[in-house]
Amino acid sequence: MATLNVVAPGSIAMADFKGKVDPDWCPGCGDFGVLAAVQKALVELQIPNHRVATVSGIGCSSNFPGFINTYGMHTLHGRSLPVATGLKLGNHELTVLVTGGDGDGFGIGCGHFVHAMRRNINLNYFVLDNQIYGLTTGQTSPTSRVGMKTKSNPYGNGDTPVNPITLALSAGATFVARGFSGDQKHLTELIKSAIQHKGFSFLDIFSPCVTYNKDNTFQWFRPRVKKLEENAEYDATNWVAAMEKATVWGDEIPIGKFYETTEIPTLEQTEPVLDDMPLIERELYIASDIAKKFVEELM
Amino acid sequence: MSQTFAIGIGGAAGQGVATPGDIFALIFSRRGLHLNAYNAYQSIIRGGHTFLTIRTGVDEVRSMGDGIDLLIPLNQDTMDRHLQLLTAGGACIYNADTIKPGAAAEGVQLCALPVSTMADITRNKVAQNTLALGAALSMMGVGFLSLESVIAGQFGRKGDAVVKENVDLARTGYDFASAHFKPFDKPLPLTGNRYAVLSGNTAMAMGGAAAGVKFYCAYPMSPSTGVLHWMAGHGRKAGIMVRQVEDEIGVINMAIGAAHAGVRSMCATSGGGFALMTEGLGLSAMAEIPVVAINCMRAGPSTGVPTKTEQGDLWQALGAAFGDFPRVIAAPLDIGDCFTLMHEIFNVTDKFQCPGIVLCDLLLSEGRLSVDPKLLDFNPKIDRGELITSNGDLSHGEYLRYKFTKSGVSPRAIPGLPGYTHTVASDEHEENGVLISDEYTNNTKRRAMMEKRMRKMVGIEAMVPPPVLEGPKDADVTLIGWGSTDGTIKEAREQLAAQGITANQLQIRWLVPLHGEAILRILRSAKHTIIVENNFSGQFARYLRSETSFVADGHIRKYDGEPFMPHHIVNAVHDQLAGATTLSVPTHEVMV
């Protein structure tokens, strides 16, 4: 299959990643910006569409795979990461992107989120975080702020929001970053770095919901977001510094790469079964001398 | 009926019941004998009560049988519970220092071992086990040499000193018995055959490996964990990726992901874990990604009785996940079949791109059986169905992942190929995979897609063989069972025949599709039908009625956690033929 990967330099264009249908997101939704940034990153990295798999859960942002031309999987609510893990282990030569929302990833799928990061499998997890449930018409999400009034919490949310960045750092993610749909150029660079990183890349992306979240709008984020890359003193290899920065929230909200380490091997590197070839290329039948030994053990 | 010899070894968990059990099993199989072993145990690591029955004979041993010939109680509790199982000609070997014998039946030999005078028990806490092992084999007429070689194999990795200590102990027990105890009437036979001894869990794991499984993942759950253990221990040699995963929801979805990449993928669990997997099974059906999930049933509901057997999950499997979708469900008939069934069900699920469910149970999963090693065929016929694995001619039109076809099966392109990019979907979709659930809702397309998927059941039914009636055609009684009860019902039929009642048997292996018409043709001419199953409500009886309107004359059910013994079925058949009842619930006489 390796010969299929050869492409002429520069031959991959935005049109190659255009999906079969146009997104049905609300006009002005933050997700449009994320989709464009992902497509742009894949073009800039010149990865052919048939070598990319996009796996999502369920929700507005989880309709993502249908709007980009790659091998896509639209799975169950909260289950994108285990499906993507199986897919990646079945063929680890594919670039696997996982997309979804904050409810999908930090609510119903939070258990998988933590364990996927522990494994350091080479997945790229992009959460389109709008701090609300959109497709179910506006309920509190795990990242909704305290006090936020929604249809499911008319008197205001009382639960402390999940901090995806500190959670990812403490679960062992080897690439942790935050982007903003309103800053295309910066987001595209983050996506490219995430894809190039070997290991689990987590990217929390502010992708405002223009219909149900009247608090965390583009206008609210724009003056607050501050790029870590513009701070010359910030060291993204320092885990403790990353933890500290991740707790900053208010007038200033840091975006950019919080942390990256290449010192931890990926799951694919530590699994000898994947050493010589992807699982999909293995012989169906087990070698007869090995099979014979398996039976002799029982005698 | 063929001659068998059964040994019962019992004690508290942690007292070392397993090791003498393994040694007996190896000695029997190396003498060319068949064996069937069942361990009644509890969900406790130390303490409680464990009782292992190993039954051996020249011919196939289909069940644990009805009684034992030799009892080795490792504690007083076992002596008290099980001495009553021995009848004339039987023997009990026990440590006279710590155990008082009860009142044995006439003709039972009580063999007291003065353990403290035979071994240094302050150093070796399990000396009594090895002494009893030696004594037993002497009484069974087995030469000491064969015991010595098995002990060397068993303890070899612990070093020469441990091997020597155990060989010496066994020798002491052996010689003591030769001098003091009466040997059994018939010495243990010897044949030139060689058998492999394995559990159902090992058989299903090996069967999966032989079927070409390349991805296996699981969350530990009794009694399915043995599948994970075999896979974990052999995966690297076999080129199989084996993962322990955070929960069963993760398990099924990972298996689906790997299956979508194009590899055969499998997982195993028990009822509780299977419940968590059900939404994923629906995804497998909707996205048309084949996956096989094994449910090793234990006594439920809820956490239930984790170490006890039941056939109580049939309706859970039938109704697993919401909505209508094609599925196959099969129940292996015995431990050998646990191996064979795996490649068969994978061929069906691959060909028809749907989920497959294997309904095994604790009796088979954790029981052990001798099988002809030729049965463990690592070159079975593998049919992966319509799979597009190379780009071939790129001039094809738009690739339609869910193309409408007569069979309902649409050729499946494996991710990574140029020219076939598509999105598989858990939402309803049209032929090209585009969702028709949100913006483009379309009832005509929805209906067509439902019918395309469900059409696959026609092909599945043609591929899966209908059940066949075993035994005399005009029998007095027809016993109907499914899955693991096969061997016990067969043995019950032999006992009934010896008592002048002819019985035939309809054992169901493929539950979905059921082949209702074929079953009806068989049952319509039966004289008296009785359904035998290990559950309370007659789950199969209800299923059979729902599919065929057939109502059996009687039922034999057991839901105390233990499997049927042949005499349970025999006695119930007598009662029912005499008109005493139409529902028998046999009592498990021994508390295990």
Judge: A86–B378 Cβ closer than 8 Å, yes or no: no
- Report the percent of chain B where pLDDT is more than 90: 90
Separation CA B317–CA B511 (nearest Å): 10
Q: Using a CB-CB distance cutoff of 8 angstroms, which residues of chain B are in contact with residue A73?
A: 257, 260, 287, 423-424
- Give the three-state DSSP class for B108: coil
Closest Cα in chain A, distance from residue B475 (Å): 39
- Alpha-carbon torsion B335, B336, B342, B344, what sign? negative
Residue whose C-alpha is closest to residue A100's, from A121, A119, A72, A140: A72
Instruction: Give φ, ψ of A231 to 5 degrees.
Output: -95, 105
Judge: A72–B422 Cβ closer than 8 Å, yes or no: yes
Judge: B256–A83 Cβ closer than 8 Å, yes or no: yes
B280 to chain A: closest CA residue:
A76
What pLDDT, in 10s, does the model give residues B394-451? 667 899 999 999 999 999 999 999 999 999 999 999 999 999 987 778 999 999 999 9
Residue B288: both structure tokens together: 């048309």
Separation CA A50–CA A71 (nearest Å): 6
Give residue B1's pLDDT band: very low, low, confident or very high (50, 70, 90). low
Task: Give the nearest partner residue to B421 out of A69, A114, A115, using CB atoms.
Answer: A69
Judge: A291–B210 Cβ closer than 8 Å, yes or no: yes
Residue to substitute from A79, A114, A120, A288, interface B, most B β-carbons within 10 A = A79
Start-end of H helices in B83-199: 115-118, 127-139, 144-155, 160-180
Q: Using a CB-CB distance cutoff of 8 angstroms, which residues of chain A are in contact with residue B29?
A: 299
Are B70 and B111 within 8 A, CB to CB?
no
Residue ranges of chain B assigned to CATH 3.40.50.920: 469-584
pLDDT of A3 > 50? The answer is no
Residue ranges of chain B assigned to CATH 3.40.920.10: 4-180
B34 to chain A: closest CA residue:
A299
Q: Using a CB-CB distance cutoff of 8 angstroms, which residues of chain A are in contact with residue B428?
A: none
Judge: A285–B212 Cβ closer than 8 Å, yes or no: yes
Are B353 and B578 within 8 A, CB to CB?
no
Judge: B246–A55 Cβ closer than 8 Å, yes or no: no
Are B120 and B111 within 8 A, CB to CB?
no
Give residue A6's pLDDT band: very low, low, confident or very high (50, 70, 90). low
Q: Max CA-CA distance within chain A?
A: 73
What pLDDT, in 10s, does the model give residues B37-46? 999 988 888 8
Q: What is the mean pLDDT of residues B159-171?
A: 93
Q: Which residue is associated with the tokens 């009034």? A: A149
CATH code of the domain occupying B469-584? 3.40.50.920
Give residue A246's pLDDT band: very low, low, confident or very high (50, 70, 90). very high
Residue to substitute from B154, B206, B253, interface A, most A β-carbons within 10 A = B253
Judge: B260–A24 Cβ closer than 8 Å, yes or no: no
Give residue B392's pLDDT band: very low, low, confident or very high (50, 70, 90). low
Q: Using a CB-CB distance cutoff of 8 angstroms, which residues of chain A are in contact with residue B212?
A: 284-285
What pLDDT, in 10s, does the model give residues A74-118? 999 999 999 999 999 999 999 999 999 999 999 999 999 999 999
Mean pLDDT of chain A: 96
Decide which of B122 and A40 is more confident.
A40
Judge: B415–A53 Cβ closer than 8 Å, yes or no: yes
What are the counts of helices (DSSP H) followed by strands (DSSP E) for chain A?
10, 8
pTM: 0.97
What pLDDT, in 10s, does the model give residues B211-220? 999 999 999 9
Q: What share of chain B is helix, strand, coil (3-state, %, to 5)?
A: 40, 20, 40
Judge: B257–A90 Cβ closer than 8 Å, yes or no: yes
Interchain contact A112–B (C-beta under 8 A): yes
Task: Give the nearest partner residue to A273 out of B217, B236, B424, using CB atoms.
Answer: B236
Give residue B123's pLDDT band: very low, low, confident or very high (50, 70, 90). confident
Are B187 and B27 within 8 A, CB to CB?
no
Q: Using a CB-CB distance cutoff of 8 angstroms, which residues of chain A are in contact with residue B30?
A: 299
Q: Using a CB-CB distance cutoff of 8 angstroms, which residues of chain A are in contact with residue B261?
A: 86-91, 94, 278-280
Closest Cα in chain A, distance from residue B319 (Å): 19
What are the counts of helices (DSSP H) followed by strands (DSSP E) for chain B?
18, 24
CATH code of the domain occupying B4-180? 3.40.920.10
Q: What range defines the domain where residue A87 resides?
A: 2-296
| B109-113 sheet: strands from edge to edge | B109-113, B91-95, B70-73, B4-13, B47-57, B34-40, B368-371, B196-199
Q: Using a CB-CB distance cutoff of 8 angstroms, which residues of chain A are in contact with residue B253?
A: 75-76, 79, 82-83, 86
Closest Cα in chain B, distance from residue A209 (Å): 18
Considering its fold, how many domains does chain A have in total?
Answer: 1
Residue to substitute from B256, B264, B423, B445, interface A, most A β-carbons within 10 A = B423
Q: Using a CB-CB distance cutoff of 8 angstroms, which residues of chain B are in contact with residue A51?
A: 416
Separation CA B473–CA B482 (nearest Å): 19
Judge: A115–B434 Cβ closer than 8 Å, yes or no: no
Separation CA B104–CA B111 (nearest Å): 12
A285 to chain B: closest CA residue:
B212
- Give the three-state DSSP class for A2: helix
Interchain contact A41–B (C-beta under 8 A): no
Judge: B283–A76 Cβ closer than 8 Å, yes or no: yes
Q: Using a CB-CB distance cutoff of 8 angstroms, which residues of chain B are in contact with residue A49?
A: 421
B281 to chain A: closest CA residue:
A76
Judge: B379–A285 Cβ closer than 8 Å, yes or no: yes
pLDDT of B312 > 50? The answer is yes
B291 to chain A: closest CA residue:
A86
DSSP output for A187-229? HHHHHHHHHHSSS-EEEEEE---TTT-SSS-HHHHTTTEEEGG
CATH number at residue A128: 3.40.50.970
Interface of A with B in 63-102 (CB under 8 A): 63, 65-66, 69-76, 79, 82-91, 93-94
Residue whose C-alpha is closest to residue B264's, from A279, A290, A96, A276: A279
Separation CA B283–CA B425 (nearest Å): 8
Lowest mean pLDDT among A132-146, B270-284, B385-399, B422-436: B385-399
Q: How many CB pairs under 8 A join A and B?
A: 216
Judge: A82–B254 Cβ closer than 8 Å, yes or no: yes
Interchain contact A276–B (C-beta under 8 A): no
- CA-to-CA dists, residue A78 to A56, A57, B429, angstroms: 9, 5, 20
Judge: B241–A73 Cβ closer than 8 Å, yes or no: no
Residue B524: both structure tokens together: 């319509």
Are B346 and B212 within 8 A, CB to CB?
yes
Separation CA B592–CA B582 (nearest Å): 28
Q: Using a CB-CB distance cutoff of 8 angstroms, which residues of chain A are in contact with residue B238?
A: 286, 290, 294
Judge: A295–B373 Cβ closer than 8 Å, yes or no: yes
Residue ranges of chain B assigned to CATH 3.40.50.970: 197-375
Residue to substitute from A26, A76, A268, interface B, most B β-carbons within 10 A = A76
DSSP at B388: E
Whether residue B223 is preceded by a cis peptide bond, meaning omega within 30 degrees of 0, is yes
Mean pLDDT of chain B: 95
Separation CA A128–CA A60 (nearest Å): 9
Q: How are beta strands B70-73 and B4-13 bridged, if at all?
A: parallel
What pLDDT, in 10s, does the model give residues B566-586? 999 999 999 999 999 999 999
pLDDT of B2 > 80? The answer is no
DSSP at B409: -
Lowest mean pLDDT among B116-130, B370-384, B456-470: B116-130
Q: How are beta strands A71-74 and A175-180 bridged, if at all?
A: unpaired
Closest Cα in chain B, distance from residue A148 (Å): 28
DSSP output for B279-348? HHHHHHHHHT--EEEEEEE-B-STT-BTTS-----HHHHHT-SSS----EEE--SSHHHHHHHHHHHHHH
The per-residue pLDDT for A167 is 98
Fold category of B197-375 in CATH:
Rossmann fold (3.40.50)
Interchain contact A20–B (C-beta under 8 A): yes
Environment class of A171 (CB within 10 Å of its CB; exposed 0-12, middle 13-18, buried 19+):
middle
CA B416-B421-B427 angle, to 5 degrees, is 115
Q: What is the mean pLDDT of residues B77-95?
A: 95
What pLDDT, in 10s, does the model give residues A253-272? 999 999 999 999 999 999 99
Separation CA B290–CA B406 (nearest Å): 19
pLDDT of B18 > 90? The answer is no
The per-residue pLDDT for B58 is 97
Judge: B257–A76 Cβ closer than 8 Å, yes or no: no
Residue to substitute from B28, B33, B251, B254, interface A, most A β-carbons within 10 A = B254
- Alpha-carbon torsion A151, A154, A158, A161, what sign? positive
Give residue A1's pLDDT band: very low, low, confident or very high (50, 70, 90). very low
